[in-house]
Each structure stands twice: as structure tokens, then as C-alpha cells.
Chain A
């Protein structure tokens, strides 16, 4: 997915930057003792929560309370969970809704594990991998008091097709191919038995990524009487520890405790600490940072870019416990338009990859603490990732060390594209402009005549996706963050032949890259995943390297994430899927 600036169905990218208990001078002995007690309590509450431990429960109860305030530059668009595809809202939806399964709401690597949520267990597929029988938990209520029934999921999946939005995740359900915004009959694909409290999903073909897709907020349960149409800014009731009290995209979103919530599995859905979560919109990011520094708010939304001079301020030891930096499974890249010259030529594409000054691009991102240069498609720490960078000076092809201008110029000459005009498309914010200018400089250095084309954030992404604009640009900036930890989410969604949708604003294969031999390997890997996961993982590695060699992109760097919290925020957890776990933070 793309990320912030709030937004369209596919998110704007997070731009570069885009906590615990600390001692203050002059503390009295009493305050110091209180601080020590707080430290002990903080130690009890960090890491994986366990509802079975009475001491943890006591500690958890002790942390409850307060209002957690997040500041964001802009809202996240329409709030209907069937349509909204922004991390900004997803970070709140995981606190108000649940799905059949979900990513464990814990920090660190265990956060990538999928655990049962509203289902009692993760079923083993039958019928050749095409049928999944879920047993639904009893006694769970929505925030409006309605009892959760298996048939509620029928409406959930129907809405994925009747509400305009991304449908491809669940298009494998029987009957989905006939669904549209005019209506949907999934009676064969989603079979609910309210008396036995079971839900059966029938697929047209095995899908090894189904559990990942069911963990996304698109599949979170909503009451069976929820409208099939877009609910706009009214979020349907959910089963999570919080409920949506209000959402006004011009001002704020407010979450309060769900009075009907109880913990059924603390790993999937623990109770939250703050009594209220408020996300306010409309401030300049510099003002957001200032407010958090002054303790007037608790978090700068992690999708907002912190200006570079304020980043420098955050280096102060004063903020050491309030700043958290984490590696993201994401790519920032320039797509090369393979539909037209010069980048319909492999040598030309490889040339700019050799010439690209990734060190300069990393500096634009905020330096080596905030970005790591890369050449390949898969990000580090991702399934099937093996370091690979053929486009570097020197002989070590596992990491980028510097540009190779001589090789680049040689390739340009061999391609016969020297002197051609190249249009570099990007966003008109400060970072976007700088990235475009650096790319122009690199292109000019190897013999092209590059010019910029800067568009606002809100139009740039649909513009480069739509093939009707392909005659207007040659190099287009973009960024991608994982939907879930599956190799296809990068290698197939972004560079597969099936994800080129002519004339559509939602065609994530921006480069229009389609290599039949690579595609056949992708298809093979997806089929193998169900029966031979290890073999599939090896094949995905080969696909990653093959796509890197084909150079449909200039992959720039893998960004890191900054979370800046106020000094009274504790219990910071970083989840690889949802990033900061807001309801797991507690306030002193």
C-alpha cells in the first residue's frame, strides 16, 4: 500500500522523516520513588501482554485512563472500512474492529504472526485448499449492543464489492466474479450457519495468502444490517475495545471505550489503556512537533514528515526516550515508463540504475539514520529477501556502495538513447521536489536531457498510474509499503502483468512492466506456496533478483519510521504490520 497525506483509496506514501520514563532535574525524593514504581509497572506492561497473569492484569488496570491525542496534518478521507485504504485509519480501526483472524497485537517480530481473533482457531483448508471452516466465538457484541453472528461476515464481504474500493483481495470467493457495486450474491462463497456458529469460505482456487487478507481491516466484521452502500464518515459498529464516537475530517476523530467489549484473547485483541483516543487534523507538522514537545499532545502521526531542522532538534538527549526509529518494509522508488523510449530499452534502464546517486537520495530522506540505499525490489527483513545490488561500483553485489557513471554512460551509448528528453514526475512538496531534482541531475550526467513535472500529492499517484498519461512522463516517483508480509505484495502487485489496468487510476504497476517468463515464475511460486512453502520462498528470491535485473525501477531506499511521542507516554510497541500500537500506550 502507499501511505499518508490522507487520502485516496491507495495511500500517499509516507515521506521521509518524514518512548518511557525520564528523570527531570529537581525531582523530589517522593517523586523519585513514584518514578521507580512507575518504572516497575512499565516493565510489567511492556512486551507481549498476557491476560492470564494477575500481576499483569493489575498492572494493566493501573495504566488505564487518560486521553491519548494524536496530531495529523490531514484526515484520512472517507471512514468506511470497506473503502478506506490508509494506514492512518487502519491504526484506529484495529482498535475498534476485529476480523476472523488478525496480526498479533504485540511488538517486534511476533507481531507478524497471524492469530485467531473472532474465530476460535485458524482452520486447515479442505477441498484441495479451497474451503475454510471457521468456528465463530460466542458472546461477543458490537459497540451498539448487537450480538456478533456468523452471518454478519456475509455482509462484510458483500460490502467489499458493493462499496467502491479495492476488491482484489477477496475476488477468489465463489460468486465474487459476478459482484459489483450494483449488488453481490456470495451465498456460495460465504456460507454462515448462525445456529452452529460457523462460517465457511469457499474459494475458486487455493489462496495461500487468504489469512493475510482476512487480517486486513477490509475483512473486519460489521453488523449484518450495515448498508451495502458507502457509509461515508459514519463508521459501522465494531467489536473492538473502542468505538467511534465521531469523525469530522475537518477537525478530529474521537474514539471512546466500547462498553460491550471484553477480552477473549489478549494476543489478538487486548483491552486498551487510554479511555479516549483523539486524532486532530489540520495542523502544520512543525506545529505538531512543537505541541508534542510541549506536552500538549501525545503523538505526531507517523505519516507526517517532520521538517529537517526539527529532526535536528530531536537529536537532543532531552528527547532520547521520546523518539523511536524503526525499519520499514517499504520501498521508495522511481518507476521507469517501459511503454515509451528511452526506458522501453533495458540498457537505458540499467544505465540510470548505475548512475543513480543513492547516497544523495538518502540524504534527502534525512540521512542514513532514516533510510538505507537499495537496488532490489524486496525490502530487508521481508520473506525471501536476500541482499542483492548489481547496480553499484565495485564487485560486491550485496549492497550499494556508490554509482558507476562510466558503466552508465557506456550503457546509454549502447542503447542509442543518448540525448533523449526525459520527463521526471514527482510531487511538489519539498522532499518530492528534491528527489526529482537529484534524479534530473543523475540523468543529465549520463547524457539525457531531463526536465521536472511536479504535481500535488493528491493527484500525482493517480496521474502516474493512469496509462492515458503515459505519454507525458518517463520517470515517475512512487513508494510502497507492505499490505502484509507476502512476497507477492511487492513482486506481483507492483510488477506483475495482471496488475496493469489501462485507463485506470488504480494500476499499481506504474512502470507497466510485464515479462512473461518472470510472470510464469510468479504464478508458479503462488501455486507452490500452499504445498511447498520453502520452495516457493526460494523461487520468490529468484524472482526478486530477476525483476531487479530487468530494472523496471530505480529503487532508491528503504525508509525508516520515526515515532515522536510526548514525555508522559509509555509502553511503546512497534508492530511490523500496524507500526505503532496506539491503544497499548499508556499515559502517566
Chain B
């Protein structure tokens, strides 16, 4: 057996090179190994693709224009031409009932709504609106919250105190109450939102997106601000300061990269939340406005048909459920992938 002296004379044994991995690559790898999260992502992407394909479905499959009322229209069911709106029976003939689901993709697959429109086509178009408002408001919310949190956490002192109190005031209001109040005011009296040269009309999808983004800013601001406060006191930040780095460089080069993972984890969860909020506001007629449709407006339209045509409300409800579920599961997967404790695991 060689002595230590003899080993020292021989030199260290040759070892293989250690390949350093980017933390994002590590996170992506962990995410790819999470099959449930991938399945959720696939489901969400499927919903997005279907929603984007709404014009194709309406034009080439269903052959309808789903937006204007079609009260005097006809369609084919089991080879027979039938009226889309059917007068009530009995001796009184009260009411006009739309046809129910035909389960025929080309002819009112999910039936008609109370003004004779194709529910299937509306569902896909509604998905576009709901997803646009949901994703747009979540992105706006995260962007705004991140900016405010960076300013508050970095500068601290009076700036942090003022911004945090503003966030506290917004947070103090019940979310839906605040959203309904703002929406009602902007829709009723102002016919939209005007800020200098920027005008968002009442019928624009950006109006509910902006409102929803605004009310949820405090919910993203708090965790991001906490992360900023933790990073600001790290040694590498002090080292940058010692090297003469300015505030902008510190914020964008040192602090932001270390808090963006928090925002990324929050983003899918916020999208799920904002989609639910948009649906609720649209159900209450203060969200998406005609001529646009969303899953929430379709549910509202279907409330008067719950006894005879429940699918008008059930179908968009199922879409909301699947979308929110997939986003929540995906959000959990992203959080697990970006979990800081996982970075301590030794690869190999």
C-alpha cells in the first residue's frame, strides 16, 4: 500500500471535469421531469389553441357568424330543418326556447343561446377573450408589482413606507367589491378609461384587463418586495456598490435577476386568479362588454336557461375549471422547479 508520501510524489489522481449548469437549465430539467406539470401545460396549450382556432371553427365547421342574434335562423338536426328558436307548446305557447345540443359539430354542437347563437362557437371566441384578459391582466399586474416592489425594496425608508401603505389601502378593499365599483364607474359614467392621451373604450378587452391588474397588484407586490429586501442585503450587492455600480445597474443587474424567479412562480397562479375574476365580473355584466363574449358572459346568458338548456352555462364553466386547474398544477410544477432548496442537490 502506497504511503501518503509516495502518493504525494505521484500527484493527485486525474478526475473528470465538472460541468456547471445554469440554474434556469436546472429548473427546466426538473420541470421536464414533472409529468403532471407537463400534462397540465399540454392541457392549457390545447385550450389556447382551440380558442385561437375559433374563427376557423365558426367559418369552416359550424358555418355561422356567432356574434349577431340569429332568432329567425334554422339549422339541420337529424336531417331535418328546424328553427333555432322554438315557440313554447301547450295552449299558451309562452316563451321561445333555443335548440339544445345536437352533438353535431357542423350544426349547433352545444345548442343555441337565448338569442339563437351557436354556443360552441361562442365558447371558443369566449376563450380568446377570457385568456386575453386573464393573461394580459396577470402580466400587467406582475410587471407593475415588480416595478413598485423593486423601487420600494431598493430605496427603502420613506419611499418604501409610502408605497407599502398605498398597497395596503388597495389590499384593504374586498377584491370583487373594488373591481365592481371601478368597472361600474368606468362603464357607466366615463364610457371607458382616459389617462392623458391614453383612452381605453368601454367595449375594449383592455379595460377589464387593466382593472383586474390594478386590484391584484398588492398581492404580487408583497412577496416580490420581500424577496427584494432579502437580496438587497446580500454580499454581492455590497460588492457591486463597492465597485461603484449605480442604482439602475444594481436594480437590473443584481437584484432583478434574483427576484424574477419569484415572479415567474406567481405568474401562472395569477393567470388562474385573473381568469376567475374576469369570469365573475363578466357574469355580473361589469367585465367584458358586448360585442365581445367571454366565458363569464356566456354563463350569465345561460342562467335564464338553466332548467331547459343547462349546457349553455355548464360548457363555459367546464372550460374555466380546466383552464384554472391546469394553470394551478403548472404553477405548482414551476414552483417546485424553481425551489431554491433544490439548487443544493448535487447533480451527477
Question: What is the interface of chain A, defined by CB distance below 8 A to chain B?
Answer: 286, 307-317, 320, 323, 325, 357, 359-360, 363-364, 366-370, 428, 430, 433-434, 436-438, 440-441, 444, 451-456, 459, 463, 472, 562
Contacts and interface: CB of A to CB of B under 8 A. Distances in A.
A310 B307 contact: yes
B243 interface: no
A360 B69 contact: yes
Interface string B63-101: 000001101100000000000010111111111110000
The list of the 3 closest CB pairs from A to B, nearest first, reads A311-B95, A315-B90, A309-B308
Contacts of A430: 114, 300-301, 303-304
Given A315-B89, A430-B114, A433-B290, 16 more contacts: A307-B306, A307-B307, A308-B304, A309-B307, A309-B309, A312-B95, A320-B92, A364-B69, A367-B87, A369-B93, A369-B95, A430-B300, A430-B303, A440-B68, A456-B285, A472-B191
A447 to B, nearest CB: 15
A370 B94 contact: yes
Q: Which of A323, A360, A436 has the most CB of B within 10 A?
A: A360
Nearest to A307: B304
B304 A359 contact: no
Nearest to B312: A309
B244 interface: no
Interface string B298-327: 001101111111000000000000000000
Contacts of B191: 453, 472
B219 to A, nearest CB: 28
Nearest to B301: A430
B71 A360 contact: yes
A459 B188 contact: yes
Given A428-B285, A452-B290, A437 B96 contact: no
B91 A367 contact: no
A465 to B, nearest CB: 15
A441 to B, nearest CB: 4
B289 A452 contact: yes
B285 A364 contact: no
B202 interface: yes
Contacts of A438: 69, 71, 115
B92 A325 contact: yes
Contacts of B97: 308-309, 312
A286 B94 CA distance: 16
B203 interface: yes
A313 B290 contact: no
A368 B188 contact: no
Contacts of B94: 311-312, 314-315, 323, 325, 366-367, 369-370, 562
A444 B285 contact: no
B307 A363 contact: no
Nearest to B286: A428
A451 B203 contact: yes
B307 A441 contact: no
B187 to A, nearest CB: 8
B20 interface: no
A65 B95 CA distance: 35
Contacts of A456: 184, 188, 285
Given A368-B93, A369-B92, A437-B290, A309 B72 contact: no
A370 B290 CA distance: 26
Majority secondary structure of chain B interface residues (helix, strand, loop or mixed): loop
Contacts of A444: 68
Q: Which of A316, A453, A472 has the most CB of B within 10 A?
A: A453
A368 B285 CA distance: 28
Majority secondary structure of chain A interface residues (helix, strand, loop or mixed): helix
B174 interface: no
Contacts of B303: 307, 430
18 contacts: A307-B304, A307-B306, A308-B96, A308-B114, A308-B305, A309-B306, A314-B92, A317-B91, A363-B85, A369-B95, A433-B285, A434-B69, A438-B69, A438-B71, A441-B69, A444-B68, A452-B290, A452-B291
Contacts of B184: 456
Contacts of B301: 430
A316 B184 CA distance: 40
Nearest to B94: A311
Given A430-B301, A438-B115, A452-B203, A315 B95 contact: yes
A434 B115 contact: yes
A433 B298 CA distance: 12
Nearest to B98: A308
Contacts of A310: 307
Interface of B: 68-69, 71-72, 85, 87-97, 114-115, 184, 187-188, 191, 202-203, 285, 289-291, 300-301, 303-309
A314 B72 CA distance: 23
A247 to B, nearest CB: 28
A290 to B, nearest CB: 10
Contacts of A434: 69, 114-115
Contacts of B115: 364, 434, 437-438
A264 to B, nearest CB: 39
A433 B114 CA distance: 11
A510 B88 CA distance: 35
A309 B307 CA distance: 6
Nearest to A432: B285
Contacts of A309: 95, 97, 304-309
Contacts of B309: 309
Contacts of A312: 88, 94-95, 97, 307-308
B274 to A, nearest CB: 22
A154 B97 CA distance: 54
B290 A454 contact: yes
Q: Which of B90, B202, B306 has the most CB of A within 10 A?
A: B90
Contacts of A436: 290
A369 B203 contact: no
Nearest to A285: B304
Nearest to B91: A320
Given A309-B309, A369-B92, A369-B93, A453 B202 contact: yes
A159 to B, nearest CB: 33
Contacts of A370: 94-95
A444 B69 CA distance: 12
A472 B188 CA distance: 11
Contacts of B87: 367-369
Nearest to A314: B94
B72 A360 contact: yes
B137 to A, nearest CB: 21
A529 to B, nearest CB: 39
A317 B85 CA distance: 22
Nearest to B90: A315
A366 B69 contact: no
B72 A359 contact: yes
A577 B291 CA distance: 39
B88 A441 contact: no
A440 B67 CA distance: 11
Contacts of A359: 71-72
A368 B203 CA distance: 33
A359 B116 CA distance: 13
A320 B88 CA distance: 13
Given A309-B308, A434-B115, A438-B71, A451 B92 contact: no
Contacts of B304: 307-309, 430
Q: Which of B89, B184, B290, B291 has the most CB of A within 10 A?
A: B290
Contact of A363 (B96, B188, B285): B96
A15 B306 CA distance: 19
A436 B291 CA distance: 10
